[in-house]
Structure 1
């Protein structure tokens, strides 16, 4: 029995509480802040202060298909998301939008389409970045646009990125931008692949010769190596207008300290943190708040650009919750405006590119990093000022006293703040009381874990649009794959490699079909061992279904139909999926791949040769552990495999050759409802889902614990409709609940009285034959053991989809 250790832990907790009370009564206080509590920091916001010119805060669309699903969102939700990203005084109010120059190759979580798959054949409407830039400009005409390549079509320079072909390709891309009435303010070289001095010099000269005012951003890699080269090479120094470095405050870190080099500072150029972030849209907000301030304080960087802009990609991809807004369900229209939006807004809504940093009014509170930081800005002509203060690491209240000098407005400043001190859904961009001056000084109390903006500007606010609730993509699902226009992707289809775009149908079929357009292996950015073209579509909760489509080979090779697509290896280095592969000769195979691209042949053989330029129907049926593959009307194989229990569908080719696809259909199989009483055992730790104590009170925390036979380890699943379940603790008749509807990963789950809310509805999906994922309808996060711990008592939390065993739960019937 476990009652004794539970009781013991409660006794220890009570003793610690009594001890702390005794120490307090005795006047002994443990240190609340290692740096020592700070009472007041004096700040003089002086318009005569020196300081660099502020270039803005922005985000990146690209470096993977992280914006792909946003294009397919319905209205009005799509417009609402765009407003939250770009509209001034509404949300993130981004000042820079950086986009990928598509290269038909995987660049993290997908591939972006090139404008020129083959030399000389240009389509200026390919891809969705033109649309996105147009939408950004429509909302904020002053937004600055930047562009960067991650890869390139294979014909360029016979595979050499640093070539004249690449310069010419970028000029063509800029010409396409002009056709879309877009002026590109900044352009770079090859993302995180170093630099070639002669190439940069050629790029700068070509831009000038063609009359472009576009500035060259040099480096876009880790570190400041290009700055050192510029110090020794005057031609390179003249060619690079802005020096951009990535993750100058650390990669996947708290971003508490940022760095530059003496050579970078000595160039006198503007220095940018030209890619940062890569962190969850909620838990990454405090690091972002630090970095926007500290990047300037520590390294004199004048722009902060977050990767990525939005998490609008499928949840089986590695960076599925990174961005400012999460929007991964275009079929339901559901989205969430995440805390990183408001970390951004506390600067962007109160400044503008061209403002000046005020060095004498910027620093660390009390001179200590742990207390937080502050950065001040002045508008041109000293017409307004703003001071942004973050207290992410503070543990005690502090105060600042502000005075105004140097010709800046001395009007009573306004105060706006955002609270990141807890994991609950908290207030963002809230206006407080205006400061009241005493003898020309303004005093403000600062709470820990917050961002404050003190400002003389007006026009700020937080958007009020509300998302619909999440829902699984219902079956049956059909799509002719004709798209909306030639050169566009099919609805919900996300390309991982190559380019799948609509084109006139071949083989005697009229209308438009989906075509794999990339004829050569591109110049790649990722290092995956199997870079063949493929695309994915659908809901990860699809389990038993039949997927079928028509396929045509334009030349010798093979086409593929994929099913039960699950977790994708980082940078496309593998995929949990089943593949039906059929060649023009009739050779076929049914394969299973994993997240390292290891392939297992489940069946193979030879059928009547499909040949080329003729249409044939491929189909896969999944029912439990039985998989059936068909070509036209012939059954190729029926096999049993329990590796993957659910997932999306996909299509592709085994190499870079032409193929067409049409008439996609996905029809549901037979599914047995899960209603009943179960024990839920974690696949990683072998311990049970457990309600702490007896689970009879609202707020009871959920942990993992070895089996005890207690009722607090029994759970009743009840269908709530649309594939979702309530999960009710048998001991206390209370529901598994996301506290306070918090959408922050790491939030510990608890029990609460039934309220029928989306925070008490769960999508229970088979991952293997005996293991299920449990996903919240509130935010799409999965039930997980914190830190994949094997320790009894470890909290059970919500976390982004990862494919880890700690997110997989075995359901064992009870009674």
Structure 2
């Protein structure tokens, strides 16, 4: 392998991630400042963690763009709020840590007033420019702007946008087109105005969606276009188990397709884990009330690039990049050289290799032939991530390096790299009672621990104080399916509680109160929850809203009219299978139903009425409120960890079974970290085993570390002794599927929720 500083190719544009495409960063701002700063340092601080170089921000449009709805800066025409949401705040934090970070922006949705519902309109051009004006007011310089996420392109619109940007003083903003294919490059020869308008060609999932990224692609027309080519979105995979396709995309995207810029979706999973992509990103931050977070392996894969090469470096061509021994299965490598003509870094990935490999390197062309520093990540290890290894001293400009299988190595002549040492506190549930009267917030902001799924719920002046209002008056231009406007509140592990809120209807229509809002599938109208629905005439119903979008009416009736512009208090209560509903303290319904056993609270409207809400409260209903004890329900199966036949015998293998609230399914997490059933038996790794496939059993509690578990905010149940996860064998979902220990992958058969 020869690294020749005189053989330079394309310019490196950076590696980074996307905040947006679904409210993914929403809960980050609600973290205690100490932990919030730690998370931000891990994401953006040079020489500490991911050191993100490219950050794409969503231009919010009030519609759900995967895991939530990002608020618009202009819900209605002309009413501009430059402090809307959290994207500008996040970008300010990123720039404060790394002033050289490159910022991009893209819309997924848009307010319904734009273009009479037509995204590709001059209204949308003006909307984008007003967003750029807001970014400028926050001291932010946006370098790149896209069109409509994954919705193709309108070439005439891009050309009009270029003209408008130039006229508005944004001539330096480069346009990125078009996110769904490389087809725009095919138009350049016949449309020089379009070619001149576009600064970067982007495409999504160039190495395959949810694939292992073994091979990547672009087109000849794109490569010959003279434009930088970007993986303007890749990823969508768990922050731990997605690390192999992550590093492969960075290496192989360049080797196979000539790509030079990369943005993972998303930046962080700062959302509750009941949402569709709850463990996807570089980090997890699902528990702002406890301050707990998780640094993912994907973050260290990004660090292997961003701490070793900067935008403006050049890829070294020839033998300085390729596949080890010409075989994709052995892994890949690329080399980048600094503008100073001396420094270089080589990034190797051996994710498919089965044995150690030795590479021989010769340095030429004026590059530094001195000592190289080696940083290493073991992709299969729970702890050996981004570790500084022994330096290598070349002899006569040559050196050898042994590469172990399933590793990432960054080999560099530069210094300044580092690994952050901040540690997360232990995750815990959001304690009950919980209440919010919205008086402590600035107007037009988002209250803590809320996640808008559709529409926008903002604090607004209300009488002599403040309350929460749904402020979107019409259906947005959606990116995924439409739904009623609603927001989720609090902790998905809540189980037995009463949620209550004051409501004030501003127009004829229906308000909704949600309880036990657990699993949500895509689109957002597939939120599993109980709902109390009541309109201004007094007609009401309590329904079970399923994850398939089906609605089952459990009780219904009518009471005296609520009317318009008057306050009423509504509540939903849960105790085991008992469900109750009240309005103004008068019971509407009481019945038994077991469709949903746990989940968040929520409020909403049917459609897009601008109704008011105030004085939310969530109070526990007796023992088993979801904080100390309850079921362990598998995300993939929907079934619960069960001691078969309610056996009390030692060494009984724990299995999956339909959830039924029986004593043999009720697991109490003790302060010592035990998961106790019947009060005296513990979840145990058979024989103290720590290897993959060790059966998980119930056994007399002994205090041994093989009976100690950590329950994470993301829903993992991790053995203290083994470091391995509670796993439904072979992704089984049927009754009697045995549980076992297995290396933590982040897969759904290793995610559990207390209920």
TM-score (norm 1): 0.84
Is the 8 Å Cα contact of residues 103 and 142 (structure 2) preserved in structure 1?
Answer: yes
Contact 1:629/1:635 (CA < 8 Å) preserved in 2?
yes
Aligned to 2:454: 497
Distance 1:542 1:67 in 2: 22
CA distance in 2, matches of 1:293, 1:45: 16
CA contact (8 A) 2:716 2:750 kept: no
Residues 23-50 of structure 1: per-residue CA shift (max 9 Å, x gap): xxxxxxxxxxxxxxxxxxxx21111113
Partner of residue 270, structure 2: 312
Residue 186 of structure 1 is matched in structure 2 by 144
Is 2:387 the partner of 1:437?
A: no
1:199 corresponds to 2:157: yes
Question: Distance in 2 between the 1:67 and 1:686 partners?
Answer: 30
Listed as ranges, the matches of 1:621-636 within 5 Å are: 621-636=573-588
2:188 is equivalent to residue 230 of structure 1: yes
SS at match of 2:99: coil
- 1:376 — aligned with what? 335
Q: Secondary structure at 1:513's aligned position in 2?
A: strand
User: Would you say 1:419 and 2:378 are equivalent positions?
Assistant: yes
CA offsets, 1:164-203, max 9 Å, x none? 0000000100000010000100000000000000000011
Question: Which of 617, 620, 625 is residue 569 of structure 2 equivalent to?
Answer: 617
Matches within 5 A, 1:48-87: 48-87=6-45
Asked whether the equivalents of residues 685 and 806 of structure 1 are also in contact (C-alpha less than 8 Å), the reply is no
Note the C-alpha offset of 1:208.
Answer: 1.4
Return the alpha-carbon distance in structure 2 between the equivalents of residues 594 and 733 of structure 1.
Answer: 34
- Alpha-carbon distance in 2 for matches of 1:256, 1:203: 37
Given that 2:674 and 2:683 are in contact with CA atoms closer than 8 Å, whether structure 1 keeps it comes out as no
Contact 2:103-2:144 at 8 Å conserved across structures: yes
In the other structure, the counterpart of 2:259 is 301
Q: 1:252 to 1:511 in 2, by over 3 A?
A: same
Name the structure 2 match of 1:262. 220
**Contact 2:13–2:311 under 8 Å retained in 1:** yes
Q: Distance in 2 between matches of 1:764 and 1:67?
A: 16
Q: 1:759 to 1:70 in 2, by over 3 A?
A: farther
Aligned to 2:145, the other structure's residue is in SS state: strand
Q: State the Cα deviation string for residues 633-678 of structure 1 (Å, max 9, x = none).
A: 2211112211111111000111112111111111110225999999
Partners in 2 of 1:287 and 1:432 — Cα distance?
Answer: 24
Pairing 1:582–2:563 present: no
Question: Do the aligned partners of 1:469 and 1:777 also contact (CA within 8 Å) in 2?
Answer: no
Task: Give the structure 2 partner of residue 665 of structure 1.
Answer: 617
Counterparts of 1:679 and 1:385, CA distance in 2? 50
Q: Distance in 2 between matches of 1:280 and 1:764?
A: 14
Distance in 2 (CA, whole Å) between partners of 1:741 and 1:200 is: 57
Residue 91 of structure 2 aligns to a residue whose secondary structure is: helix
Distance 2:286 2:717 in 1: 14
Q: Deviation of residue 612 (structure 1)?
A: 1.3
CA distance in 2, matches of 1:609, 1:209: 55
Query: Which residue is equivalent to 1:525?
Result: 479
Give the Cα–Cα distance (whole angstroms) in 2 for the partners of residues 49 and 738 of structure 1. Answer: 59
Q: Deviations over 1:273-331 (max 9, x none)?
A: 00000000000011111110000000000011100000110111010000101110000
- Aligned counterpart, 2:601: 649
Aligned mates of 1:630, 1:794 — CA distance in 2:
41
Distance 1:763 1:52, change over 3 A: closer
Structure 1 residues 292 and 594 mapped into 2: Cα distance closer, same or farther (>3 Å)? same
Q: Alignment partner of 2:604: what SS? A: strand
1:64–1:112 contact (8 Å) kept in structure 2: yes
Between the aligned partners of 1:414 and 1:373, the Cα distance in structure 2 is 19
- Partner Cα separation in structure 1 for residue 436 and residue 100 of structure 2: 39
Residues 764, 377 of structure 1: alpha-carbon distance in 2 compared, 3 angstrom cutoff: closer
Confirm or deny: 8 A CA contact 1:782 1:800 kept in the other structure.
Answer: no
Question: In the aligned structure 1, how far is the partner of 2:610 from the partner of 2:566?
Answer: 13
Provide the C-alpha distance between the structure 2 equivalents of 1:490 and 1:349, rounded to a whole number of angstroms. Answer: 36
C-alpha distance 432-657 of structure 1, shift in aligned 2 (>3 A): same
Q: Which residue does 1:788 correspond to in 2?
A: 732
Aligned equivalent of 2:466, options 506, 512, 518: 512
1:388 matched to 2:347: yes
Alignment of 1:740-779 (within 5 A): 754=703, 760-762=709-711, 775=717
Residues 1:403 and 2:362 aligned together: yes
Q: Match for residue 8 of structure 1? A: none
Q: For residue 247 of structure 2, give the secondary structure of its aligned residue in structure 1.
A: helix
Question: Pick from 67, 89, 106: which aligns with 2:47?
Answer: 89
Q: Aligned pair count?
A: 736
Aligned residue for 2:133, secondary structure, equals helix
- Give me the whole-angstrom Cα distance separating, in 2, the residues matched to 1:660 and 1:348: 46
Per the alignment, do residues 434 and 758 of structure 1 end up closer, same or farther by CA in structure 2, a change over 3 Å counting? farther
Answer yes or no: is the 8 Å Cα contact 1:417–1:453 preserved in 2.
yes
Aligned to 2:321: 362
Q: Closer, same or farther in 2 for the Cα pair 1:749/1:483, shift >3 Å?
A: farther
1:687 Cα deviation from its structure 2 partner: 10
Could you tell me whether the CA contact under 8 Å between 1:112 and 1:127 is conserved in 2?
Answer: yes
Which of 438, 454, 458 is equivalent to 1:481?
Answer: 438
* C-alpha displacement of 1:611: 1.3
Unpaired runs of at least 5, structure 2: 658-663
**More deviation, 679-688/621-630:** 679-688
Distance 1:312 1:437, change over 3 A: same
**Is 1:452 equivalent to 2:409 in the alignment?**
yes
Is the Cα–Cα contact under 8 Å of residues 495 and 597 in structure 2 kept in the other structure?
Answer: yes
Distance 1:546 1:264, change over 3 A: same
Q: Does 1:720 align with 2:670?
A: yes
1:359 CA drift (Å): 1.3
Task: Provide the C-alpha distance between the structure 2 equivalents of 1:299 and 1:259, rounded to a whole number of angstroms.
Answer: 5
Distance 1:462 1:755, change over 3 A: farther
| Contact 1:748 1:795 (C-alpha < 8 Å) held by counterparts | yes
**Could you tell me how far apart the structure 2 residues matched to 1:335 and 1:763 are?**
9
Distance 1:179 1:749, change over 3 A: farther
Q: Does 1:559 align with 2:518?
A: no
Q: Is the 8 A contact 1:701 1:749 kept in 2?
A: no
Distance, in Å, in 2 between the alignment partners of 1:273 and 1:419 is: 25
Quote the offset at 1:59 in angstroms.
0.2
Question: Equivalent residue for 1:599?
Answer: 551
The 5 Å alignment of 1:141-156 reads 141-156=99-114
User: CA distance change for structure 1 residues 632 and 331 in 2, over 3 Å: closer, same or farther?
Assistant: same
Deviation at 1:587, TM superposition (A): 1.4
Contact in 2 for aligned 1:192/1:219 (Cα 8 Å): no
Shift of 1:556: 1.4
Moved more, 337-346 or 788-797: 788-797
Q: What is the Cα deviation at residue 739 of structure 1? A: 10
SS in structure 2 of the partner of residue 136 of structure 1: helix
Return closer, same or farther for 1:510/1:520 CA change in 2, 3 Å cut-off. Answer: same
Stretch of structure 1 that moved more, 221-230 or 174-183: 221-230
Tell me, yes or no, if the aligned pair for 1:417 and 1:431 is still in contact at 8 Å. yes
Q: CA deviation at 1:222?
A: 2.8
- The aligned counterpart of 2:660 is none
Identify the residue that residue 544 of structure 1 maps to in structure 2: 496
Q: Distance in 1 between matches of 2:494 and 2:683?
A: 28
Offset of 1:239 from its aligned partner?
1.1
CA contact under 8 A between 1:483 and 1:502: conserved in structure 2?
no
CA RMSD of aligned residues (A): 3.5
Q: For the Cα contact (< 8 Å) 2:670–2:676, is it kept in 1?
A: no
Match in the other structure for 1:21: none
Is residue 782–residue 799 contact of structure 1 (8 Å, CA) maintained in 2?
no
* Cα distance in structure 2, aligned partners of 1:462 and 1:702: 41
